[in-house]
């Protein structure tokens, strides 16, 4: 188990699916977003140092992000 704020994709850079992710600011927070099968941008990962951000339902994994 790794206790680090660094994304797994940065630590294990050989993951082939990592290129499909893009960084996007959503409601003032940095997120990693991936296009879903339906073509909608979906939240893959929230990057934040504020623990309250992770409790916000808008930042649940696989949530559709609008910007």
37's CB contacts (< 8 A; 6+ apart) are none
Q: Map residue 25 onto helix, strand or coil.
A: strand
Q: What are phi and psi of 20, to 5 degrees?
A: -75, -10
pLDDT at 55: 96
Q: Is the pTM of this model over 0.75?
A: no
Q: What is the mean pLDDT of each run of 10 residues along the chain (67 residues)?
A: 82 66 93 90 95 94 86
């Amino acid at each position: 188990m790794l206790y680090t704020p660094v994304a797994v994709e940065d630590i294990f850079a050989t993951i082939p699916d990592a290129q499909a992710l893009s960084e996007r600011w959503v409601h003032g927070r940095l997120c990693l977003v991936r296009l879903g099968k339906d073509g909608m941008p979906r939240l893959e990962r929230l990057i934040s140092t504020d623990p309250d951000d992770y409790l916000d339902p808008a930042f649940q994994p696989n949530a559709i992000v609008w910007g």
